Structure 1
Amino acid sequence: MNPLIRFFRTKIYTAVFLMVFILLVGVVGYRLISGYSWVDAIYMTVITMTTVGFGEVVPLDQGSKIFTIILILGSVLIMGYALSIITEYILSKNNIEELKYRRMQKQIDSFKNHVVICGYGRNGKQAAKKLLAHNKEFVVIDKNREMEERLQLDEVPYVIGNANEDEVLLQAGINRASSFISALPDDADNLFVVLSTRQINKNINIISRASHESSYDKLKFAGANNVILPDKIGGDHMASLVVVPGLMEFLDNLSIVGKSDINVEEVAVEKLFSSGELKTIKDLDLRKKTGCTIIGYKDEKGDYTVNPEAELLLVPNSKIIVLGRPEQIESLNSQYNIK
């Protein structure tokens, strides 16, 4: 629960308790001091607390008058307190959302080397789910105000606005981000957003969705590092399940979030040994130390080698792709202090 709502709820409960308390004091007081019936005691207490100015049921004696004075003063204080709480709550209600946005923006401003996801449709939500499973910081941009409730339910940081505007991209921290995923349904929107993002951050890794193959080269030219065609991938995947079903089932298990006994990790070679020396895959001996198997190598130019030889020299700015069970990956990260 929002702390501000909790704060007001506590004060409202206190005000209600005090009002009920003073009402009971008045009823019991008039019953015992003035000898009124229960109905007359309630009537006198209510008109005294509300100060409506009606006359007494019966003339008050000296003791009843003193009690009435005390009751009026107490009622004025308590009613004034209750009205101030209600007024403050009404005036502050509109500020609760603003305070929530400020708190979330402060969280976004603290992010560095995070991921920005543009669009929270099917593809964007799936990307967010994957990043969340890997404890990767990310921010979602979506221009549809109707999407805000879903974003709040998923408890992800977000910015509501049009990603075509540089101010919105900067609000999401695009200048500090390491990666940008453009998952908008329209290729023209993706093209414009990719172009704007590349102009703001020259070094960011941009992955864009494309609905049509004709948009592939345009998005690459605009600055996207990778362009994904969901329909093409989906069709290829379904056909592969017919041609090589066993292999595809194995590959699917590698990408399952939170349920797989297998995992794949990409690790920079600088995290495995000092940059002042060069080692081979055999020298690392990761299989013996952690149980992980090196299944791929990405050199400093970005070229991949599948199932690299043991004598392959690991040069600076290159990466290895390791395969292992979650506990083996955890052992690797623990031994080499990889976060």
Structure 2
Amino acid sequence: MFKTGQNLNLIIALSLLLLIGFTGIAGYMAIEGYTLLEASYMTVITVATVGFKEVHPLSDPGKVFTIILIIFSFSIFAYSLSTITSYLVEGRIKEFFKNNRKTGGITKMKDHIIIVGFGRNGQQTAHDLLLLNKKVVIIEKSHELIVAHEKEKVIFVEGDATEDEILEMAGIQKAGALISTLPIDADNLYVVLTARSLNAGLQIISRASHDSSERKLITAGASHVVMPEKVGGTFMASLVAKPDLAEFFHHLSIEGNEGVNLVEVVCSDLPSEFQDRTIHDMSIRRLTGANIVGFRTPEGQYIINPPGETVMAKNAKLFVLGTPDQIENVKEIIRQKHKH
């Protein structure tokens, strides 16, 4: 969690205090020839205006420097003291350093997923991505909502996702995708525009509430647009028209420890001995019990239940259906092949 306004005030306050301190110490050492300890003592009693006696009588240049230091440090010291006291009283000092350590990890992230908005859609999206072991960064305006979910295994950035600074804090340049789940289409539009301007190659998925917004979001730079109400309505209709089929697809998960999983395998990630070979050569069903139910060609064409002679080209994808154990066996075959 990173609260830009309040944390920025603390950073400014501490920076100004350090600046005044270094200026005072350097000035007394250069003008009066004081030692580091003497210069530090003189700086502290001058900035704090406590009126203690100076270490040695000051020269005229030293007196002028002291006057200037007092004038500039008075307001700075008062501002810094009030800001730091506010953090201490409200118990935010510990939170500040904890959040800085946490958000500091974003700079080391790559191909992570940024979710804008942590309402019901955002929370479900984060939950499913975490099941896939994806690294997730949440951008959320509501401080109360962030505090309520601070134990989640995600990193929060508090602020407005339409601002370049906030998206950069979330690591937009190195992110793998951005998902905007805000309830208002206009807000999603601004997020998409801003994100696309910062990362031209980013995959951007946006929520939309109205049909008229879909075209605008695509034009603004969204890769895909999802309308939760339409998806939900279609599923409810399916429960009436084809209840068993709808229930089957409902229990079909993209990853997890229960039910049946459907995963994608990028052919370019396969060991070299499998690339440009046929699906039959890999013997997925015989070795694991899982089924290859779909195939995406490098040109983007989808083939349902591909035949065994289908060639696994470099940029193609396989869609594998199976139980969690079967899917794990598929991954293990790939891992073992990589070792060889």
Report if TM-score (shorter chain) is over 0.5: yes
RMSD after superposition: 2.3
> What corresponds to 2:157 in structure 1?
159
**CA–CA separation in structure 1 for the residues paired with 2:279 and 2:115:** 35
Which aligned pairs between 1:261-276 and structure 2 lie closer than 5 A? 261-274=259-272
- Which has the larger displacement, 249-258 or 109-118? 249-258
1:101 aligned partner: 99
Q: Label 1:333 to 1:276 Cα distance change in 2 as closer, same or farther (>3 A).
A: closer
Q: Percent identity?
A: 43
Q: Report the equivalent of 2:3.
A: none
- Residue 121, structure 1, aligned to residue 132, structure 2: no
The reply on whether 1:178 has 2:176 as its aligned counterpart is: yes
Q: Is the contact between residue 292 and residue 323 of structure 1 (CA under 8 Å) also seen in structure 2?
A: yes
Q: Show the 5 A alignment for 1:208-287.
A: 208-255=206-253, 258=256, 260-274=258-272, 277-287=275-285
- Dislocated runs of 4+, deviation >3 Å: 89-94, 256-259
* Partner in structure 2 of residue 203 of structure 1: 201
Contact 2:292/2:320, CA 8 A, preserved across alignment: yes
How far 1:93 sits from its partner (Å)? 4.3
Q: 1:185 to 1:134 in 2, by over 3 A?
A: same
Q: Does structure 1 conserve the Cα–Cα contact (< 8 Å) formed by 2:274 and 2:282?
A: no
Report the 3-state secondary structure (helix = DSSP H, G, I; strand = E; otherwise coil) of the residue aligned with 1:199: helix
**1:192 maps to amino acid:** Y
2:293 and 2:254 map into 1 onto residues whose CA distance is 19
Deviation per CA, 1:13-62, whole angstroms, max 9, x where unpaired?
A: xxxxxxxxxxxxxxxxxxxxxxxxxxxxxxxxxxxxxxxxxxxxxxxxxx
Shift of 1:271: 2.0
Contact 2:255/2:262 (<8 A) preserved: no
Closer/same/farther in 2, CA of residues 94 and 233 from structure 1, 3 Å limit:
closer
Alpha-carbon distance change, 276 to 269 in structure 1, aligned in 2, over 3 angstroms: closer
> Retained in 2: the 8 A contact 1:209–1:230?
yes
Q: Which runs of 5+ in 2 are unaligned?
A: 1-84
State the 1:337 CA deviation.
2.1
Q: One-letter code of the match for 2:302?
A: Y
Which amino acid counterpart does residue 211 of structure 2 have in structure 1?
E
Per the alignment, residue 8 of structure 2 pairs with none
Alignment correspondent of 1:325? 323
Rounded Cα–Cα distance in structure 2 between residues aligned with 1:128 and 1:277:
33
* Residue of 313, 331, 334 corresponding to 2:332: 334
Contact 1:295–1:306 (CA under 8 A) maintained in structure 2: yes
> 1:94 offset after TM fit, Å?
3.5
Query: Cα gap change, 1:257/1:283 in structure 2, threshold over 3 Å: closer, same or farther?
Result: closer
Distance 1:91 1:122 in 2: 33
- The residue that corresponds to 2:75 in the other structure is none
Shift of 1:143: 1.2
CA distance in 1 between counterparts of 2:141 and 2:306 reads 45
CA distance in 2, matches of 1:257, 1:198: 29
Deviation digits for residues 262-299 of structure 1 (CA, Å, limit 9, x no counterpart)? 11111100222318951111122111122211011112
Aligned partners of 1:298 and 1:319 also within 8 Å: yes
Q: Select which of 188, 200, 222 maps to 2:186.
A: 188
Identify which range, 157-166 or 256-265, moves more after superposition. Answer: 256-265
User: For the structure 1 residues 333 and 209, does the alpha-carbon distance in structure 2 shift closer, same or farther, using more than 3 Å as the test?
Assistant: same
User: Given the two structures, how large is their TM-score scaled by the length of structure 1?
Assistant: 0.70
Asked if the contact 2:267–2:318 (Cα under 8 Å) also holds between the matched residues in 1, the reply is: yes
Structure 1: runs of 5+ lacking an equivalent: 1-86
Q: Shift of residue 91 of structure 1?
A: 8.0
Q: Which amino acid aligns with 1:131?
A: L
Alignment match, 1:304? 302
Q: Deviations over 1:177-215 (max 9, x none)?
A: 111110001111111111111121122211110000111
Higher-Rg structure is 1
- For these two proteins, the number of residue pairs brought into alignment is 252
- Looking at structure 1, the residues matched to 294 and 274 of structure 2 have their Cα atoms a distance apart, in angstroms, of 23
Rounded to whole Å, the distance in 2 between the matches of 1:153 and 1:258 is 21
In structure 2, distance between residues paired with 1:227 and 1:262: 26
The Cα offsets for residues 67-92 of structure 1, whole Å up to 9 and x where unpaired, read as xxxxxxxxxxxxxxxxxxxx9x9589
Q: Which amino acid aligns with 2:315?
A: N
**One-letter code aligned to 1:162:** D
CA distance change for structure 1 residues 107 and 193 in 2, over 3 Å: closer, same or farther? Answer: same
Q: Which has the higher contact order (CA 8 A, sep 6+)?
A: 2
Match of 1:147 among 145, 148, 167: 145
Shift of 1:316: 1.5
Report how far residue 120 of structure 1 moved.
Answer: 0.4
TM-score for the superposition, normalised by structure 2: 0.70
